Structure 1
Amino acid sequence: MMNARDGPRPTQFSVLIPVYEKNDASQVDDALESTISQTTPPDQMVVVVDGPVPTRVDETIHGWSSEHPETVDVVQLEENRGLENALNVGLERCDHELVARMDADDVSSETRFERQLEVFRRQPDVDVVGGYVGEFVDDPDQVSHVRTVPTAPAEIERFARFRSPINHPTVMYKKSQVQAAGGYRTIPGVGDYELWVRLLERGNVLRNVPAVLVYMRAGAEMYRRRGGIGYARTEFRLQKEFLERGFIPPRVFLLNVGLRIPLRLLPNGARRLLYSRFLR
């Protein structure tokens, strides 16, 4: 008997893009353009507007919706309740089993979806497919650094005990498996990391494509979001939870906390330097 995870092999897919008040209209336009203009374009693009957004952002989104009414599905939330809530709401709206994530200020490589679909076709047991991120400041053609991750399932599982093994904005996953695992929990900054660990604990198979799938802006704001006492507390609680769940042993817990918590408390410039030199 065929396992539900093994087939039939899907070819149609949705793209899930959350947008909120701090997104820039021109960057949103670039993100939607790179999504529509793929070598394998999506069958559905769910844009979740997480609360009120600036007029130009709203006009940009509805411009794309008017131009591609058969593809772009806009979900307007009355108030901003955070990324994880927006993703869970958007996931419910996605019509297809395969769902690709996309951030509203990133740019997808033109063959991203084609590459990910090929993995699902060749390896139907796989549940999540991510890839590398190319970081840039102003021009996605001028990549300053490539954020690599392990590619094989066994390597990903080992890596996950120390750091997030999947670049969240690059993923395409099986909707049924993410929802069966409980969807996104509200853990600001590290909710995706917890989701990957939860999927690994359930026996799901994660892979990464050894290629840049998404180009991400990497200015000072990105590093600022990864620091502060609030972020440090959240990360400590998550590592403690991993320890209590048996995902990491005590020595790994101590190592992770000893390395990560001081990093979050450093000044932004010093944290940026350490990330760029040692923590990729």
Structure 2
Amino acid sequence: MTIAHVNYKVAIEAAGSPKISWLVCAHHSNLKLKVALQSCLDQTFTDFELIVVANGVSASKVVASVAEWYGSDSRVKIFSTPICHLTFSLSLGVHFAKGEFIARMDADDIAYSTRLEKQYQFFINHPDSTVLGSAFDLIDENGLVQKTIFPLTGDEQIRNALIYKNPICHPTAMIRKQALIEAGGYLGGLQAEDYDLWLRLSANPNNRFANLKDVCIGYRITGGEARGSRLSYSSQGSSQFRHFLMGYGSKWLIASFITFIKIMRLSVSNFLGRQAK
């Protein structure tokens, strides 16, 4: 295992270049993290590295735990930063990743064993594809499946859906690293960094999106989930408005206005909820 306390000047050269780089960011060390990392390692496809970015005030604890669990596994490479910001950590991980593809995973999700194999095979069969997500199980704190989500699968469907929602679940995504870099990498705000990236990638008509019908991960929903929050909607709305300002059509101005209405409805709902207590 490679451990690096990043000084932002020296890059570590990996021995060889794997096809796929897992990218997991973590600011807590717990059993869910170990389960998530183990699921990344227990894949039927084997040509990969696992990039772990430990961030925040507990980064040293994450580094120590990962070293204890996987210190003898050369596939695992961990980088440490005190900056607890997901967009920064993702950018840091992309910088050090050696794979042709970036496979995202959250630190509390579970990758099913054939995920990499199925997604890599799709890219082989569809060499024009840029971003590939998948169907996914929503799991609770105990890992029990609550619901299975089957997203839109085709490029045109996904592009049309981008106007009003995020049609690709980020932890299911595998992305061509070169296309990600050419689009500017991760530039989003505190949340919805994935939606911001999809919009910038969609600006290039040569980039193609898809979702597998196969269920590839267990996506854990917790009390702090970003989905449907005012902060995530604010990030989404700002990305939509920027797209309008960049000349991609009035539909993006309308989309940002609709998102603003969602924020107002959430604010009113939260206010009424507090008043009722």
TM-score (norm 2): 0.83
Query: Unpaired runs of 5+ in structure 1?
Result: 1-9, 271-280
Once the 2 structures are TM-superposed, how far is the Cα of residue 264 of structure 1 from its aligned partner? Answer: 5.8
- Greater displacement, 59-68 / 30-39: 59-68
Which amino acid in the other structure matches residue 200 of structure 1? Answer: S
Q: Secondary structure at the match of 2:145?
A: coil
- Give the distance between the partners of 1:98 and 1:248, measured in 2 at CA: 34
Of the candidates 22, 41, 50, which is equivalent to residue 46 of structure 2? 41
> When the two structures are aligned, how many residues end up with a matched partner?
254
Once the 2 structures are TM-superposed, how far is the Cα of residue 54 of structure 1 from its aligned partner? Answer: 6.7
- Give the distance between the partners of 1:119 and 1:268, measured in 2 at CA: 46
Change (3 A) 1:263 1:247: farther
Change (3 A) 1:134 1:24: farther
Of the candidates 91, 94, 99, which is equivalent to residue 94 of structure 2? 91
Change (3 A) 1:45 1:51: same
Matched with 1:139 is: 142
Change (3 A) 1:81 1:52: closer
Change (3 A) 1:146 1:117: same
CA deviation digits over 1:200-243, x for unaligned, max 9?
Answer: 111211111012211122132216x7424x55543432332233
- Greater displacement, 121-130 / 185-194: 185-194
Which amino acid in the other structure matches residue 185 of structure 1? Answer: L
- Give the distance between the partners of 2:98 and 2:60, measured in 1 at CA: 28
Q: Secondary structure at the match of 2:136?
A: strand
CA deviation digits over 1:29-52, x for unaligned, max 9?
Answer: 000110001111352111111133
Change (3 A) 1:75 1:58: closer
Change (3 A) 1:195 1:247: farther
Asked if the contact 1:17/1:102 (under 8 Å) is kept, the reply is: yes
Matched with 2:23 is: 16
Asked if the contact 1:164/1:193 (under 8 Å) is kept, the reply is: yes
Q: Secondary structure at the match of 1:169?
A: helix
Q: Secondary structure at the match of 1:67?
A: coil
Once the 2 structures are TM-superposed, how far is the Cα of residue 24 of structure 1 from its aligned partner? Answer: 4.4
Q: Does 1:74 align with 2:81?
A: no
Query: Unpaired runs of 5+ in structure 2?
Result: 1-16
Asked if the contact 2:36/2:111 (under 8 Å) is kept, the reply is: yes
Asked if the contact 1:135/1:144 (under 8 Å) is kept, the reply is: yes
Matched with 1:238 is: 239
RMSD: 2.5
Change (3 A) 1:94 1:137: same
Of the candidates 176, 184, 187, which is equivalent to residue 186 of structure 2? 184
Once the 2 structures are TM-superposed, how far is the Cα of residue 186 of structure 1 from its aligned partner? Answer: 3.5
Q: Secondary structure at the match of 1:189?
A: coil
Once the 2 structures are TM-superposed, how far is the Cα of residue 244 of structure 1 from its aligned partner? Answer: 2.0
- Give the distance between the partners of 1:183 and 1:159, measured in 2 at CA: 22
Matched with 2:70 is: 65
Once the 2 structures are TM-superposed, how far is the Cα of residue 14 of structure 1 from its aligned partner? Answer: 1.1
Once the 2 structures are TM-superposed, how far is the Cα of residue 123 of structure 1 from its aligned partner? Answer: 0.4
Of the candidates 255, 258, 263, which is equivalent to residue 258 of structure 2? 255
- Give the distance between the partners of 1:11 and 1:66, measured in 2 at CA: 19
Asked if the contact 1:108/1:214 (under 8 Å) is kept, the reply is: yes
Identity %: 24
Q: Does 1:101 align with 2:104?
A: yes
Once the 2 structures are TM-superposed, how far is the Cα of residue 259 of structure 1 from its aligned partner? Answer: 3.3
Change (3 A) 1:241 1:170: same
